[in-house]
Amino acid sequence: MRLPYFFAVSLIFLVAAGLCLMAASFAVTKVEETSEFAVRRALDLKGHDWTEVHSDGLRVVLTGTATDEATRFSALTAAGTEVDTSRVIDEMEVAPTTELAPPQFSAEILRNDSGISVIGLIPASQNRDALIKRLRDLDDDGRVSDLLETADYPEPKGWDNAISYALDALNLLPRSKISASPGLVKITAIADSQQEKEQLEQYLTRAAPPSLRIGLAISAPRPVITPFTLRFLIGEDGGKFDACSAQDENARSAIAAAAQDAGLTGPFTCTIGLGVPSPRWPEAATLSIRALAELGKGSVTISDADITLAAAQGTDAGTFDRVVGELENALPPVFALHAVLPPPETDEGEGPPEFTATRSPEGLVQMRGRLTDETQREMVDSYARAAFGSERVHTAPRIAPEGLPMDWPVRILTGLEALAQLHNGALTVTPDDLVLTGISHDPDTRAQIAGLLSEKLGDAQEFTLSITYHEPPEPADKLPDPEICEERIAEVQASTKIAFEPGSATVAADSRDTVNQIADILRECGPIRLEIQGHTDSQGREEMNQQLSQARAQSILNELRGRRVPTASYTAVGYGETQPIADNDTEEGREENRRIEFHLIRPEPVENPETGLDAIEAETIKAEQTDNAASEADAGDQ
């Protein structure tokens, strides 16, 4: 039976549709498999094995968690090299970023004659206006260059102490660079003298909080010596310097060698400074000293480029003429020689006129001798009262207009000016000599007086100095040196150590006298930076030993507070078993390791050999350039 035409056609269409559906399904599956395989291979080659690939028809779906946005974008790019980017469906996630580390807060402060500059990064919570106001108060004209940046992060531990200490230090240092960061302050500065340098170092070390590390590099520049002076004498007891100046170490060594060959006895001081009149100063000095040595006795005085060679009375005239002639020919061109040969002694006449002034240790001055007229006496009296104090001067010279040289007032006033630099002494002025003897508390006084007399008395003028240096008496309220305090505490502990009740932080009863002795020492020492260290043996757990040592150190700090010792600059630190001083395998060793130690907190060295402000500014600029370069490099990496 034949099928109707309609059914036959319908059956054919159904069979064809089924075949087409099967072919299309096969083709889609093939495309999905091919795309998925190609994308997976591309991702693996790029190292993105964390990515999952799923095909959904023509779509390629990427899933997974990327470490960062750049990695996610790299995976998308790799997939786009194998299939059309419109077919790539991004369902990847990016891992949440960890909390950003806070920046390194720091402030660089530069102070010089041009004002104050401050640069760095500070916390946003810092009162910036108050900080800049404090800096402006330090400068007479309020010149402050504010180059600070802020970051909204919490203030790190130690930041407040560092900034406060840096500003306090800046108040004392008009030429300095101070770097402040959390828990650390580095100071590079210039002092006007060696004495000021030592005072600043002592004060800044004591003033720092105990938890703050400090680095000090304070230098004292070479002094300017005016006039540049050298004075060497040879007498019955050998050679000695009244004054010595040199421009560097080599010059000082050459002068010292010549003086030793000429009979120098005992130690001497030769000041290195600026102001040398000629680079050939050491050559002129050594030639002059050797010439004096040939004469045997006398003195040689060099004031800038003027040289005065004075022979002793009784020197042979022929020898004097030969030595002077050779020296004149050998001296460098800049220097001028004045040679003095005293006349032979005679018994005729009453002796030269003289003027004397004495200054007692209490500061009382008495003047006697000869003056030309009343006007000269009033002038000398007024000068002395201005120099020594109007209530301390007794004037009793007589008027003798005959026999006094023209430069008599100059010699007297110059001698009084020199006497004013001594703690006590005596001045004797004659037409041919000026003799000054006395005691000074400044080791440089002899050289300063020699320079003064050389400059004001003129060339070829003789003077004699006999000045003794005595250490100045210590002020009644002077605090002892911190190192001495540390040594005294160590001596106390060497005889009687501090012990505790077993396993506790309670000071043993028989150790309380030791704590009392240490408290007495610390009260005398004043505000020193001290670390009280607690140590244990190795028995027990390390964590428990550390906690016990901390508790014992804190207990000693509390004991000192209870004995009215100012402990604001002290800190207590427990080191546990980490710093043994003896063998923990024996009972004796363990007993030694259970201890309390007192150590000074000393400044850290600052690596900055250059001391001028130019070097300070150059270092600051270099640091800024380094920071900028690092920032640009980081930006390029991103």
**pLDDT per position as a tens digit, 444-472:** 888 889 888 888 887 777 888 888 888 88
Is the domain of 512 the same as that of 439? no
Helix ranges (H only) for 46-178 are 69-80, 128-138, 159-172
Helix ranges (H only) for 46-158 are 69-80, 128-138
Query: Is residue 637 in a domain?
Result: no
Is the domain of 243 the same as that of 320? yes
Is the domain of 413 the same as that of 497? no
- Cβ-based neighbours of 278, under 8 Å, separated by 6 or more: 284, 305, 332, 334, 335
**Cα–Cα distance, 72 to 75 (Å, whole number):** 5
CA nearest to 483, candidates 395, 602, 380: 602
Residue 503, classed as helix, strand or coil, is coil
Residue 520 dihedral angles phi and psi, to the nearest 5°? -60, -40
Is the domain of 487 the same as that of 592? yes
pLDDT of residue 6: 65
Domain limits for position 274: 229-340
Token pair listed for 72? 């996610």
Query: Is residue 113 in a domain?
Result: yes
**Residue ranges of the chain with per-residue pLDDT less than 70:** 1-13, 15-32, 57, 97-100, 345-351, 476-477, 607-638
Is the domain of 235 the same as that of 335? yes
Last residue of some domain: 60, 94, 128?
A: 94
Cβ contact 426:437 at 8 Å: yes
Q: Please name every residue paired with 106 in a beta bridge, in sequence order, or none if there are none.
A: 121
pLDDT of residue 22: 66
What percent of the chain is helix, strand and coil (3-state, nearest 5)?
Answer: 40, 25, 35
Query: Is residue 622 in a domain?
Result: no
Helix ranges (H only) for 121-280 are 128-138, 159-172, 194-207, 249-261
Is the domain of 423 the same as that of 492? no
Pairing of strands 176-181, 184-190: antiparallel
Cβ contact 48:78 at 8 Å: yes
Distance in angstroms between the alpha carbons of the first and the last residue of the chain:
82
Query: Is residue 393 in a domain?
Result: yes
**Cα–Cα distance, 447 to 269 (Å, whole number):** 9
Query: Is residue 514 in a domain?
Result: yes
pLDDT of residue 635: 44
Query: Is residue 123 in a domain?
Result: yes
Is the domain of 518 the same as that of 574? yes
pLDDT of residue 21: 64
CATH code of the domain in which 299 resides? 3.40.1520.20
Is the domain of 335 the same as that of 403? no
**pLDDT per position as a tens digit, 289-324:** 999 999 999 999 999 999 999 998 888 888 888 898
Last residue of some domain: 306, 340, 374?
A: 340
CATH code of the domain in which 551 resides? 3.30.1330.60
CATH code of the domain in which 15 resides? 3.30.1340.30
Query: Is residue 258 in a domain?
Result: yes
Please report the DSSP string for 542-600 in residue order: HHHHHHHHHHHHHHHHHHHHHTT---TTEEEEE-TTSS-SS-TTSHHHHHHHSEEEEEE
Last residue of some domain: 430, 445, 469?
A: 469
pLDDT of residue 348: 47
CA-derived radius of gyration, the chain:
43
Count: domains in the chain: 5
Is the domain of 287 the same as that of 372? no
pLDDT of residue 398: 79
How many residues are recorded in the chain?
638
pLDDT of residue 25: 56
Cβ contact 361:423 at 8 Å: yes
Helix ranges (H only) for 336-392 are 374-388
Is the domain of 453 the same as that of 374? yes
Is the domain of 21 the same as that of 73? yes
Query: Is residue 270 in a domain?
Result: yes
Cβ contact 312:298 at 8 Å: yes
Cβ contact 285:230 at 8 Å: yes
If 0-12 CB within 10 Å is exposed, 13-18 middle and 19+ buried, where does residue 396 land? Answer: exposed
Is the domain of 408 the same as that of 464? yes
Token pair listed for 285? 């000095």
